[in-house]
């Protein structure tokens, strides 16, 4: 089957989430992604339970469609192997601590000089320079630094971390976009380039609309729970069944909502006539809607509201969402070998993505990959014997 990125070769030196999420997306669409793991392996291999077929759920969610080679880049012999691999690679992606690649003599300038065609993508927490340059960054900590935590939660709970690693994932998405932009530009110039994507920048980029509200008013945003600072009603409501999220984006939708709830006169109330009016009277609006929704079934009502053009959602558990018939229709739960996983979210009409290879065991393809890059059996055995390509993970002390 032809895929959009067939023929693209990616050397993936990244670990944990942002980089592997990026490269899994490229691999889903046909790129040959070679996951180069350090002797201790990608740390997410141990982020469990749960474990299945020797893989943690965390690792399995980020590494399908890849091949794994173990390579100790702290050794000169390991870096020599990497250089051989980069000769024919299109992309290298890494998220080493700032300065590591440079200390090994394979920083951005050295790689660009030796491999002018290479697109080199780097993911860091805060960038290579500046007041926080070089500092380590994990998703939750960057949610705190960026202000994201300060607007998630309500006055009773205080700041609450977004429940998924949203900063890491957006960083991975931005990196994938940046890589594809660089590859497109290379078609014109014939040259690769270095790009850096940081968790901090990614977190700031998804704060919409809070920074712009502050730019315009000089009023610091406050925690609002499930409410929106700019739209009403945009909130979670209790019902007799599943809780219901109403996402009413304009006055026309609000009138339809009131009519569907058999109280059309509410839309004529001066307190609720426009979105600005409703924002100014949210407590009264919520009280009116809560009374009308209390005896409704949230899931049934959500579907009815959507059918007449009103965005709404019934609050589903993760198992509910995974078992939803629409999830199945969209092919969003798929099998990657023995592993059940989330399907690719981008749907092409002519070059579809796919989950064609299960996440790899540590170093499972070391010999196979080395042969492809011209190493003979004697060289492969020597590298293994010297610990350059370990067969088992080594624990950090």
| Average pLDDT for runs of 10 along the chain of length 397 | 94 97 98 97 96 96 97 97 98 96 96 98 96 94 96 94 96 98 98 98 97 96 94 97 97 97 97 97 96 96 97 97 97 95 96 94 97 96 96 80
User: Residue 395's pLDDT is what?
Assistant: 77
| 232 to 6, 223, 249, 324: CA distances (angstroms) | 46, 16, 7, 28
CB crowding 354-363: b at 16 or more within 10 Å, else e:
bbebbbbebb
| 6 is a catalytic site residue | no
Task: State the CB neighbour count (10 A cutoff) for residue 112.
Answer: 17
- Which of 203, 204, 207 is CA-nearest to residue 169? 203
Cβ atoms of residues 167 and 199 within 8 Å: yes
Which among 12, 72, 90, 168 is annotated as catalytic?
168
User: Residue 397's pLDDT is what?
Assistant: 58
Beta bridge mates, 246: 235, 312
Token output for 225: 């729970």
User: Residue 394's pLDDT is what?
Assistant: 85
User: Residue 396's pLDDT is what?
Assistant: 66
User: Residue 381's pLDDT is what?
Assistant: 97
Domains plus CATH for the chain? Answer: 9-206+329-385 (3.40.50.10540), 234-323 (3.30.1540.10)
């Amino acid at each position: 089957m032809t895929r959009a990125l067939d023929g693209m070769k990616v050397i993936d030196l990244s670990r944990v989430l942002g980089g592997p999420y990026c490269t899994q997306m490229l691999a889903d669409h046909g790129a040959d992604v070679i996951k180069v793991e350090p002797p201790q392996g990608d740390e997410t291999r141990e982020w469990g339970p749960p474990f299945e077929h020797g893989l943690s759920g965390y690792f399995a969610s980020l590494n399908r469609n890849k091949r794994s080679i173990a390579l100790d880049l702290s050794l000169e012999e390991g870096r020599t192997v990497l250089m051989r691999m980069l000769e024919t690679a299109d992309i290298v992606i890494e998220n080493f601590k700032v300065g590591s690649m440079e200390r090994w003599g394979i920083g951005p300038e050295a790689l660009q000089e030796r491999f002018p065609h290479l697109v080199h993508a780097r993911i860091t927490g805060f960038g290579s320079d500046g007041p926080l340059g070089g500092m380590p960054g994990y998703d939750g900590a960057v949610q705190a630094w960026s202000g994201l935590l300060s607007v998630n939660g309500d006055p009773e709970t205080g700041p609450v971390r977004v429940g998924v690693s949203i900063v890491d994932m957006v960083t991975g998405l931005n990196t994938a976009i940046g890589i594809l932009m660089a590859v497109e530009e290379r078609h014109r110039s014939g040259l690769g380039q270095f790009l850096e994507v940081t968790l901090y920048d990614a977190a700031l980029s998804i704060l919409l609309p809070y920074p712009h509200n502050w730019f315009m008013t000089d009023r610091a945003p406050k925690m609002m729970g499930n409410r929106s600072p700019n739209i009403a009603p945009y909130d979670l409501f209790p019902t007799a069944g599943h809780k219901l999220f109403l996402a009413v984006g304009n006055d026309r939708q609000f009138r339809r909502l009131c009519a569907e709830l058999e109280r059309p006169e509410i839309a004529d109330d001066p307190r609720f006539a426009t979105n600005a009016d409703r924002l100014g009277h949210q407590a009264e609006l919520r009280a009116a809607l809560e009374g009308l929704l209390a005896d409704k079934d949230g899931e049934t009502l959500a579907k009815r509201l959507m059918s007449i053009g009103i965005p709404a959602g019934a609050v589903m558990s993760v198992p509910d969402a995974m078992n939803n018939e629409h999830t199945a229709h969209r092919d969003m739960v798929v099998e990657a070998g023995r592993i059940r996983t989330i399907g690719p979210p981008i749907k092409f009409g002519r070059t579809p993505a796919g989950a064609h290879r299960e996440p790899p065991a540590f170093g499972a393809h070391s010999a196979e990959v080395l042969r492809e890059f011209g190493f003979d059996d004697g060289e492969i055995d020597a590298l293994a014997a010297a610990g350059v390509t370990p067969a088992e993970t080594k624990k950090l002390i």
